[in-house]
Amino acid sequence: MGFDSFKNKINDVLGDEQQTDKALDQAKNFINDKTGDKYADKVEQGRDFVDGKVGDDRAGGTTGDRPVGDDKV
């Protein structure tokens, strides 16, 4: 597989909101399990920040009820 092919596949995955949301939720749950939810609020903020940078939202959509870039990190 050439670099361009690999790059295109990565862009496809990062552009799929459902896939990125699923991966971010899995990462969030893993971290919260390992830390006993001690940092759950910070983990959620980080998850929301990254969600604004990947998936369909990065093209200028919205994350829930707030515009992209209106992250409270």
Q: What pLDDT shows up at residue 46? A: 96
Which mean pLDDT values do the consecutive 10-residue runs of the chain (73 residues) have?
Answer: 79 83 94 97 96 70 47 48
Asked whether the whole model's pTM tops 0.75, one would answer: no
Domains identified in the chain, total number: 1
Q: What pLDDT shows up at residue 22? A: 92
User: Is residue 70 domain-resident?
Assistant: no
User: Which positions ≥6 away from 63 have C-beta within 8 Å?
Assistant: 48, 51, 52, 57
Domain that holds residue 22: 3-63
* Strand 66-67 versus strand 62-63 pairing type: antiparallel
User: Is residue 41 domain-resident?
Assistant: yes
